[in-house]
Amino acid sequence: MSARTKKTGRDVEKGYPLNQFIEKLRRLADCLEEGKSFRIQIDGERITVPGVAAVNIEHERGKREEEIEFQIKWPAGK
């Protein structure tokens, strides 16, 4: 995607085998700890998370399941 291409809204959920998930979490943790950007490809799109991104953990509980989301947020275009 070129710098001139306007990004459109997106909401993708991608499952990974446990070993790949663990590998990605370790790389993410290392980058955040060092203040470096983190690069990941999700469903065909390359995404760069800046080292100054905000992080939080969200917990949701429903009647049939519970969910924990590790969220990483940054301003669009960064």
Residue 6 has pLDDT above 80, yes or no: no
- The confidence score (pLDDT) of residue 8 equals 73
Comparing C-alpha atoms, which of 67, 77, 38 is closest to residue 55? 38
CA distances from 53 to 16, 24, 28, 66, 69 (A): 23, 16, 11, 26, 16
In a domain, 11, yes or no: no
The predicted model gives 41-53 an average pLDDT of 91
pTM of the model: 0.73
pLDDT single digits (tens) 16-38: 999 999 999 999 999 999 999 99
Total count of domains within the chain: 1
Domain that holds residue 58: 18-73
